[in-house]
């Protein structure tokens, strides 16, 4: 679950809805900037499905007693999280070997520098999966640059969708989540290795510099506003189920 706090409620977005939005973003990527065009459809689908392991978890969100907030993808307990990571990659791989490879790489990247044994075991298993898939797909050194681009595209679109979902639209640069304040970490050839920097123009519009998409566009993401009072009365799971779906519509412009 993706969630942030307001005075009287939590704003909550499911991981899969966020991933579907990231796929829409990838689909808008400028054709001349897309490396490996014959894989474009498969890559975009894989990006849209990269968080499908969270679908069952997000159907009934969990309360974190320590923080007195809903658990999110950031603080959800590691061992069950890794199990659902694996489940999601398995499901993507069943439909697309290349997509399984991309999603495996994506989740392993979250565990860089880890020292926890469960995470180390997960990384070992996923590295073995990646090697197997590369061999099965015939990916050698000549194809590595193409794979690296598709991986960076997944991570960029994941970050851009989080930028839209993880904070209040229209906030100032100083109020933004620290991860994105100085630009997204992914760097692309078309930008000369410079970071792409986002900025909110208002509550409905954000700009990107440089702009990597074919044209300006709008993305919609469903979300729920879950009342803190309602959580106290009936608990998070029931309060979440009772909350009405709303839609966040954001335009990305030059």
Percent of the chain scored above 70 by pLDDT? 100
Tens of pLDDT along 1-44?
A: 999 999 999 999 999 999 999 999 999 999 999 999 999 999 99
**Residue 119, pLDDT above cutoff 90:** yes
C-alpha to C-alpha distance for 104 and 86, rounded to whole angstroms: 8
Tens of pLDDT along 192-251?
A: 889 999 999 999 999 999 999 999 999 999 999 999 999 999 999 999 999 999 999 999
Average pLDDT taken over every residue of the chain: 96
C-beta separation of 150 from 102 below 8 A: yes
Peptide bond into 210 cis (omega under 30): yes
What pTM did the predictor assign? 0.95
Terminal-residue alpha carbon distance, the chain: 30
Query: What does the pLDDT read at residue 205?
Result: 98
Query: What does the pLDDT read at residue 147?
Result: 97
C-alpha to C-alpha distance for 163 and 180, rounded to whole angstroms: 7
C-alpha to C-alpha distance for 83 and 229, rounded to whole angstroms: 32
Query: What does the pLDDT read at residue 186?
Result: 95
Query: What does the pLDDT read at residue 156?
Result: 98
Query: What does the pLDDT read at residue 113?
Result: 86
Query: What does the pLDDT read at residue 114?
Result: 86
> Nearest-5° angle of CA 89, CA 98, CA 53?
15
């Amino acid at each position: 679950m993706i969630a942030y706090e307001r005075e009287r409620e939590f704003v909550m977005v499911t991981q899969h809805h966020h991933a579907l939005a990231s796929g829409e973003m990838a689909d808008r990527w400028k054709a001349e900037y897309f490396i490996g065009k014959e894989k474009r459809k498969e890559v975009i689908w894989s990006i849209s499905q990269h968080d499908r392991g969270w679908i069952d978890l997000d159907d009934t969100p969990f309360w974190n007693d320590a923080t007195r907030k809903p658990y999110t993808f950031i603080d959800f307990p590691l061992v069950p999280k890794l199990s659902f990571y694996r489940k999601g990659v398995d499901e993507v791989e069943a439909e697309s070997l290349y997509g399984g490879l991309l999603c495996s790489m994506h989740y392993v990247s979250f565990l860089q520098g880890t020292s926890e044994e469960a995470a180390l075991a997960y990384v070992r298993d996923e590295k073995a999966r990646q090697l197997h898939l590369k061999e099965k797909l015939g990916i050698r050194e000549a194809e590595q640059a193409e794979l690296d681009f598709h991986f960076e595209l997944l991570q960029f679109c994941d970050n851009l969708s989080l930028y839209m979902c993880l904070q209040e639209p229209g906030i100032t640069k100083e109020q933004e989540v620290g991860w994105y304040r100085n630009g997204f970490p992914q760097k692309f050839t078309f930008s000369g290795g410079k970071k792409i920097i986002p900025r909110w123009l208002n509550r409905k519009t954000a700009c990107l510099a440089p702009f990597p998409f074919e044209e300006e566009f709008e993305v919609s993401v469903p979300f729920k506003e879950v009342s803190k009072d309602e959580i106290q009365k009936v608990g998070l799971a029931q309060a979440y189920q009772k909350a009405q779906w709303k839609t966040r519509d954001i335009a990305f412009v030059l």
